[in-house]
Amino acid sequence: MVKPHPLAPSPDGEGVPEDGRPIVLPVGVLALQGDFARHAEALSRAGLESREVRRTGELRSVSGLVLPGGESTTYLKFFEREPGWGGALRQFAESGKPVLATCAGLILIAARVDNPPQASLALLDVDVVRNAYGRQVDSFVGEATCADGSSMEAVFIRAPKIARVGASVEVLARESSDPVLVRSGNVFGATFHPELSEEPAVHRRVFGGGRSADAAAPAPAARADSGVASR
C-alpha cells in the first residue's frame, strides 16, 4: 500500500487541522522537464505518495521535492520565463524539507558549474563538471559504494562529476573515487539516475519509507530497457 509522507507542523500552525494532527502530504516531483514520471514510480516502490509540481504555489502542498535529471539549460530557460522559480526553490530548501536533485537537477543546485560555465542556484556547496563521463553513447550502469561498504546500482547517463565537495557536504556514496551521492543537511545530490534502478534505496534514504541507501540490497542486473551498458 502506498504510504503518504508525513509533514511535521510548521511553527505558525500552517497545515495543522483542528484536532492537532499533522496533515499528510505527498513528496513533490518537479515536472517541468526530464523523466519525472520515473521518479514518481520510484517513490511508489518506496511506499511513498507523490504529486507532480508545475507551479510554485504547489510547493506548499508537498513534504519534499525531487529535481529530476534531463537538461539543466532547459531548467534555466524555463526559470527565465518564470522568474519566481529560483526564489521558490531556494525558500523550499531553506525550510528544511528534504530535497533530492539528480543529474541535471544536481547541476541546477550546485555552487559552481563548468564545461561550460552556467548559472546555478547554489543550494549545495559542490562544484560540478557537466557531461564529464562523455556523451549519451558513453552511458553505463555502474556500482556505487556507500560509506558502510555496501553497494547499490548507479545508472549514469551524460552524467556530471563532482569536482569539489564543500566542508558542509557529506559524501554518502562513491563510484570508484568519485563522489556520486552527497548531502548537506536536508539537500541531497546524485550524479546518477536512481529512479532507473528497481531498488529505490536513494528515495528511501532521502524521504523515508524503508531501508536507507546505506542498507541497500546488492545491485540488480541491468535491465534490457535501460539503454545503457553495464561495466
Cβ atoms 146, 216 nearer than 8 A: yes
The span from the CA of 66 to the CA of 52, in Å, is 10
- The torsion angle over the Cα atoms of residues 207, 54, 114 and 96, rounded to 10 degrees, is -40
Cβ atoms 117, 210 nearer than 8 A: no
In the set 49, 175, 195, 199, the catalytic residue is 195
The grid coordinates of residue 69 equal: 535529471
Residue 33 Cα distances to 2, 50, 116, 146, 231, angstroms: 25, 16, 21, 29, 28
Q: Is 193 a catalytic residue?
A: yes
In the set 5, 39, 49, 103, the catalytic residue is 103
User: How many CB atoms lie under 10 A from the CB of residue 207?
Assistant: 26
In the set 5, 193, 199, 203, the catalytic residue is 193
Which amino acids are annotated catalytic? 103, 193, 195
